[in-house]
A and B are shown apart, each in its own frame.
Chain A
Amino acid sequence: MSALLSVQDLAIRIGAATPVDGVSFDVSEAEMLGIVGESGSGKSLTLRAILKLLPRQAAVSGRIEWAGKNLVGQSEGAIRKLRGRQIAMVFQEPMTALDPVLTIGLQITESLREHLGLRGQAADRRAVELLDLVGIPDARRRLQNYPHEFSGGMRQRVMIAIALAGEPKLLLADEPTTALDVTIQDQILKLLLRLRDELHMSVILVTHDLGIVAGTCERVAVLYAGRIMETGPVYDIFRKPAHAYTLGLMRSVPEQLQARQPLRSIPGAPPDPGRMPPGCRFAPRCSLAVTECAVPPPLVSVGDGHRSACIRADAVRVASQVPA
């Protein structure tokens, strides 16, 4: 099964820093891939690079394969044809992402007009359908409303509806639930899952929340300091992590059985983008690091569809079996 989107060795250089350096992952059709990482790990930049939404000074290298073509190095005009129509994106904060002075109806129909050539009544009807699809009640009337007249969760749904207007095959979701309450988060995630099934659409879900990834994604990529540490099926990553960083992440999640035990965080902090360690970027904080970790470890297969960039994957596997 060939991948819908294949990212290989993506690197983004901004000024003297390389906040993304060596990111590779694949997304298949109708699959939800999670990209999980801390703040500053480069996950937003990675997503934006796909649609060429980076600042002017950013230099991108590597391959982003879509429909047989490498998106890296394409002209603005060529990428624009993809935006909204083949690949759509939703942002983290819907209040700032929606135009405050235009009705949401207009913001949906301008996409419909651009991508599907719909106008007037036909466009309005489709807009209502989209709002229904994302679960906005009283859709026809709400076309005339402005963003500030919706609640946070509703606004996020509206943003998703706008993104769906072009009937994209892939939806890039940059932390779509971070700004929302937990209960609303749940609704939005369920919505994304439903859309994936009903529309046969793939989703890349970027988040820092492991719980979200566990509950929604089939596959996950773990990003740290601008590099992919591990990718694989969610079950494998969570139950049989093959990277020291992933192990640390799993361990840091508090479980009910650990009531009144001290929280276990990973000691240290992520490296400065301008001063990345040579070799494995997690090595300075890793309890399992050895001298060979000073050489950049390649992403190798450690199981079916499961790849890790840790040369101590075996030690990690052993450590993960032991209750900590």
Chain B
Amino acid sequence: MSQAVATGDLAPSPAARPRRRFRVRAAPTLGVLILALLLVCAIVPQWVAPYAPLKFDYRATLRPPSAAHWFGTDNFGRDLLSRVIWATRIDMQIALFSTLFPVVFGTFVGCLIGYFGGIADVLFRRLVDLVITVPFLVLVIAIVAVLGPGLTNMYIAVSSVGWIFYARLIRAEILTQKRRDYAAAGRVMGYGWPRIVFRHLLPNAITPVLTYWMTDMALAILLGSSLGYLGLGAQPPTAEWGVLIADGKNFMSTAWWMSIFPGIAIVLAGVGFSLLGDAVASLFRRR
């Protein structure tokens, strides 16, 4: 110990742990890169896509991938690469809007239920029982059927059930945190419950929620594209990756590229969000 201080060498030299550092950095960097790429496609598709997505070309229908059309063309002669790029915006929106309300509302409600408990807690746990017994997909489809197909209704359907998972997560964390000494200290100092819950308990409890949010965005894209495939999500002519895949369903044997490439975009987005989720988790772990 004394030797370390004497030579002023407090941090381990980079040479001492080169391998560890590199492996930890590679995955999240990849995630950030992927998402950056997707964001660019979402925000300014017109600069990225080689063709306009609605540009029909009846002379070039169902062409396989080539130099002119990297992803081939569909049955209307539209360039698939451009359609996939333009669809990025919709799917990114799906990731965000499907999860935003659940995160905010779920965290808020979960905090209160976790802190106050009581009958609200009993009711909440019954609600959770209910939601995990009926498969999420079935519930969402049922609600969308009631409201009618479309993206907005899908967001409503997903949000109305999705917040419960966040609430459950934060409730568990709050239950742990409120037993900690700093919570008792706050009470002793006479702080009102809003201050204790939101200013003190919440920041300590938020980490798993943020990590879950990242993975949830990936799941939202999976769900959104599944509903798009079934015809319940984005409606034509809106291009969404799931819808694009469904468009290619009838051309499976003749134009496999129509279904395969949009799917690759979905996988890419999923991987990107998951890697980002891992990065968030390890970021907080190191603190």
Contact = CB atoms under 8 A, between A and B. Distances in A.
A285 to B, nearest CB: 11
A238 B264 CA distance: 75
A204 to B, nearest CB: 31
A275 B7 CA distance: 13
A275 B3 CA distance: 9
Contacts of A269: 1
3 contacts: A269-B1, A272-B3, A275-B3
A269 B1 CA distance: 9
Interface of B: 1, 3
Nearest to B3: A275
Interface string A260-296: 0000000001001001000000000000000000000
A269 B5 CA distance: 14
A269 B3 CA distance: 11
B144 to A, nearest CB: 45
Contacts of B1: 269
Nearest to B1: A269
Contacts of B3: 272, 275
Contacts of A272: 3
Contacts of A275: 3
A306 to B, nearest CB: 34
A272 B3 CA distance: 9
A199 B1 CA distance: 46
B68 to A, nearest CB: 54
A272 B5 CA distance: 13
A272 B1 CA distance: 8
Cβ-closest 3 pairs across A and B: A275-B3, A269-B1, A272-B3
A275 B1 CA distance: 11
Nearest to A275: B3
B211 to A, nearest CB: 29
A76 B287 CA distance: 41
Nearest to A272: B3
A272 B6 CA distance: 14
A173 B35 CA distance: 55
Nearest to A271: B3
B18 to A, nearest CB: 13
Nearest to A16: B16
